[in-house]
Amino acid sequence: MITKLFNAKILYKRNTSSAQIKIDKLFNKHNIYPHTAELVINNNFAPNLYIKNKIKFFYDINIQYSIFKFSNSIKLKSIIKILKIIGQDQQINSILFQLPIPKRLKQRILFKNIKKEKDIDMLNPKNFTEYIIGYQKNEACTSAAVIKILKIIAIKIKQLKIILLGFSNIIGRPLLFNLFNKHATIIIINKKYSNLKFILRHADIIIIALGKINFLKPQNVPYGCIVIDIGINIGKNHITTGDFKVTRNINERLSYLTPVPGGIGLVTINNLANKTIEITTKNLEQ
C-alpha cells in the first residue's frame, strides 16, 4: 500500500483563479476590493508562518489584508477597544484572530466583541451557537476545510469511525458538530488519555489538532487509516511539522495523509478568502 499525500497546492492554484474571478466581478461592479483585518497577539513563529501564507494568497487575489500586531503584554480593554473600532469601520469587511493568544486575555470575552457580521471564522459565541442549533449554515473555516478534503479524496464519512484528537473551541468543537451532521461516528480523545493505542486501532479516520509535535506515531495508526493533520509546530532547525510523526514506513500504514505544511492550512486560507468575498458582496448588494 502506498500512502497518498493530499496535494493542497494544486487546489490552492485552482482556488486562486476562482477567487480572482469573483473579486474582479466585484470590483468591476462596485469599484471595491474586499478587506479583512487580523489581530495577532503573540510572538510564536508557527502562527506567523501561517500568516505569511495568508498574506500571499490574499495579495494574489486582491483582498486587502491589514494586520494589527500586539505584544503579549497588551491589556484586554485595549484589544476590545480596537475590536469595536474595526467592527464599525465600513471599509473592513471581515475580522480574524490569529491563535493562540495569552490565556490572561480571556478568549471568550474577546470573541464576544468581534462584530457578529464580520466574524468569518465563527469565533463569536453567538455565531457558533446559531450554527449548532441550525439557524445558520456558516462553518468554521478549518472545520470546513477538513470536510472539503474528505470530499475531494472521495471519502464518504457516513458510518465511518472517526477519532478526533483535540477538542479546542476553534477546531475540535466546530469539527465535532460538522462531522456529526454528516452522520459520522466520532470519538473524542484528549492528549492525556492513557490507552490511546487501543482506541486508535478502531479508527477509519484520525483527525489530530493538538499542537504537539510528532504526538501521533505511525505504529499507533491502523492499516489503511486516513490521517488529517491540523497541527503546526516548529521542530529542530525551524522546520515546520505537524502532530503526526512522518517516518519512512508510513507507506505500510496509511491510505491518505494531509502533509504539514502544504495541507489543511492552504484549504483553510481559501475558505477565509471566500467568506470575506461573500460578506463583502452581500453588504454591497443589500
* Angle between helix 172-181 and 141-152 (nearest 10): 50
> What integer pLDDT is reported at residue 1 of this predicted model?
63
Q: What are the structural domains of the chain?
A: 31-117 (3.40.50.10860), 141-265 (3.40.50.720)
> What integer pLDDT is reported at residue 47 of this predicted model?
60
Q: What is the pLDDT of residues 231-264, one digit of tens each?
A: 988 877 778 889 999 887 777 788 889 999 889 9
Q: What's the average model confidence in pLDDT over 264-268?
A: 92
Q: What is the pLDDT of residues 179-224, one digit of tens each?
A: 988 888 899 887 677 788 888 988 999 999 998 999 999 888 999 8
> What integer pLDDT is reported at residue 144 of this predicted model?
92
Q: What is the pLDDT of residues 48-101, one digit of tens each?
A: 778 888 999 999 999 999 999 888 889 999 999 999 999 999 999 999 998 888
Q: Cα separation of 286 and 282, whole Å?
A: 6
Provide φ and ψ at 257, rounded to 5°.
-145, 135
- Give me the chain's average pLDDT, please: 88
Q: What is the pTM (predicted TM-score) of this model? A: 0.91
> What integer pLDDT is reported at residue 72 of this predicted model?
85
Greater confidence, 286 or 127? 127
pLDDT exceeds 60 at position 45? no
Residue with cell 470575506: 276
pLDDT category of residue 106 using cuts at 50, 70 and 90: confident
> What integer pLDDT is reported at residue 5 of this predicted model?
81
